[in-house]
């Protein structure tokens, strides 16, 4: 592919809130599309809303992309750096007669809008006061033909042919004044400035696309190719929002590995031939025609499962880094990674590197007597003292099993041992714990249980 035909895509978040998982997913698709096709992936901060945009939100957004490993090509762009171009292109449209100052007051427009909604018409404004003397509070509109019978057609890479009737659009408001473009205009100018060849964005933008195409036409520029991505949905199939739980991507950091989240976001709305995919495999297998048309419900169970698959692959050092628990001994790693779904749950296994604290009443198995528990623990201790750990876990289990056969109650042997070693009602098999902490510590913990 030569340079002039190189694919350029972008994700354009507004820094008016924390990075939403849906925006992150849109970024992931743009990234995969660019990487698969040898193109460029750009990030543009759409900071045109000066009142609501903050540097903190911008930082959160960029940190989220960085965490996912979707690195943009070139500098981070900002709409605020593009003001010169907004003015230049607005002047061009006013001069060429494609745009005009609308002479209606805010109140008149609001009344019209209300009437249209009441009459169940598409809200639009066809201006009867074009090119009047400029007054305060006017907006600049793109002139459209309300009597047009034309259909604006674009070929969406995911949805196929999409058609809109031009006559339903009305005169599109594009700027408050020469220095304050509105969304539809700013986004087109920003994309022209970038040289975006493909626009991959959420399907909630579909109805904006014919407006953008008309702006490109008025400017005498070719429109990019569009692909409208399926949205992430809540269980009730509405657009995923705060009221459905955590939607801020960076809040997932404490519980999930970035590889798992990247894999999840990429694969939830794209057909791949297996579940666990490295970022290279995600790129290699990416095909825009395999992106689903309908939105996918955000399924936290699936994410937990995927995360557990990635956790299993962690080396001891990676596990310690990911959980921020430096005390995890190498011997405990397999036991933890076999079971862990969320990283923050690793602390629940702290008895593998630290003496557990618990109430002595927990040692009592069902309705057994204190004496019976003491006897069982003592016998277990004696067994362990004479047991050679090098004979292995299976042998150890057999020895314990023969003790429980003698006692006639398996729980009476295993329960107090479990509590002595873990301090918990639920834990992995006490035999596994005994082999992680070693003979010496196992005996110490039984002793301290006996003292209680």
Summarize as ranges the residues that interact with Zn ion (CB under 5 A). 102, 104, 127
Tell me whether residue 102 or residue 311 sits nearer to Zn ion (CB atom).
102
Q: How far is the CB of 134 from Zn ion (least distance, A)?
A: 13
Q: Which of 242, 254, 324, 452 is catalytic?
A: 242
Nearer to Zn ion, 106 or 324 (CB): 106
Contact present, 8 and 40 (Cβ < 8 Å): yes
CB 58 within 8 A of CB 311: no
**Least distance in angstroms from the C-beta of 100 to Zn ion:** 9
Distance CA 18, CA 388 (A): 56
- 3-state SS, 294-331, equals CCEECCHHHHHHHHHHHHHCCCHHHHHHHHCCCCCCHH
**What is the smallest separation between the CB atom of 128 and Zn ion, expressed in angstroms?**
7
* Minimum separation from the CB atom of position 49 to Zn ion (A): 24
- Under a CB-based contact definition with an 8 Å cutoff, are residues 21 and 262 in contact? no
Rounded alpha-carbon distances, angstroms, from residue 227 to 19, 292, 437, 450: 21, 11, 55, 68
Residue closer to Zn ion, measured from CB, 75 or 147: 147
Bridge partners, residue 2, by sequence: none
Please state the closest distance from residue 108 (CB atom) to Zn ion, in A: 8
Collapsed DSSP state (helix, strand, coil) of residue 407 = helix
Calpha distance 419→426 (Å, rounded): 9
- Of residues 8 and 141, the one with the C-beta less far from Zn ion: 141
Cα 166 to Cα 214: distance, rounded to the nearest angstrom: 9
The residue among 127 and 260 lying less far from Zn ion, judged by its C-beta, is: 127
User: Nearest to Zn ion by Cβ — which residue?
Assistant: 127
Tell me if residue 106 is catalytic.
no
CB 376 within 8 A of CB 442: no
- Known binding residue 120? Answer is no
Q: Which of 196, 209, 172, 174 is nearest to 90 (CA)?
A: 174
Known binding-site residue numbers: 242
Residue positions annotated with a catalytic role: 242
Known binding-site residue numbers for ATP: 242
């Amino acid at each position: 592919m030569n340079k002039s035909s190189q694919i350029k895509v972008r994700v354009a978040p507004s820094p008016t809130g924390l990075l939403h998982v849906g925006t992150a997913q849109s970024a992931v698709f743009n990234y995969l599309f660019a990487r698969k096709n040898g193109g460029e992936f750009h990030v543009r901060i759409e900071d045109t809303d000066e009142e609501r945009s903050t540097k903190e939100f911008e930082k959160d957004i960029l940190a989220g992309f960085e965490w996912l490993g979707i690195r943009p090509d070139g500098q981070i762009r900002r709409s605020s750096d593009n003001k010169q171009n907004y003015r230049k292109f607005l002047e061009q449209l006013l001069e060429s007669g494609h745009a005009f100052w609308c002479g209606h007051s805010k109140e008149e427009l609001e009344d019209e809008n209300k009437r249209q909604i009441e009459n169940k018409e598409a809200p639009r404004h066809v201006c009867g006061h074009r090119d009047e003397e400029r007054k305060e509070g006017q907006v600049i509109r793109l002139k459209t033909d309300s009597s047009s019978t034309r259909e604006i057609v674009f070929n969406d890479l995911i949805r196929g042919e999409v058609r809109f009737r031009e006559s339903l659009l009305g005169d599109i408001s594009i700027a408050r004044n020469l220095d304050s473009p509105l969304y539809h205009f700013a986004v087109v100018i920003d994309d022209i400035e970038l040289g975006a060849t493909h626009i991959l964005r959420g399907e909630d933008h579909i109805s904006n696309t014919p407006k953008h195409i008309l702006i490109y036409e008025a400017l005498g520029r070719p429109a990019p190719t569009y692909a409208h991505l399926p949205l992430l949905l809540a269980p009730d199939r509405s657009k995923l929002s705060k009221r459905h739980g955590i939607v801020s991507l960076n809040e997932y950091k404490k519980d999930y590995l970035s590889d798992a989240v990247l894999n999840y976001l990429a694969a939830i709305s794209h057909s791949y031939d297996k579940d666990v995919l490295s970022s290279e495999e995600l790129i290699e297998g990416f095909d825009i025609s395999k992106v689903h048309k309908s939105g996918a419900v955000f399924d936290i169970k699936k994410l937990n499962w995927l995360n557990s698959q990635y956790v299993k692959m962690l080396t001891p050092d990676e596990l310690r880094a990911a959980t921020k628990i430096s005390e995890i001994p190498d011997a405990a790693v397999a036991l933890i990674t076999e079971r862990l779904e969320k990283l923050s749950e690793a602390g629940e296994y702290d008895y593998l590197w630290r003496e557990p604290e618990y109430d002595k009443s927990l040692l009592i198995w069902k309705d057994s007597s204190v004496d019976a528990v003491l006897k069982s623990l003592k016998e277990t201790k004696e067994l362990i003292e004479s047991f050679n750990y090098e004979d292995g876990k299976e042998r150890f289990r057999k020895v314990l099993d023969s003790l429980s056969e003698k006692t006639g109650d398996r729980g009476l042997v295993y329960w107090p041992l479990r509590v002595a070693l873990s301090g918990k009602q639920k834990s992995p098999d006490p035999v596994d714990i005994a082999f992680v902490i070693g003979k010496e510590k196992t005996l110490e913990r039984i002793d301290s249980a006996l003292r209680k």
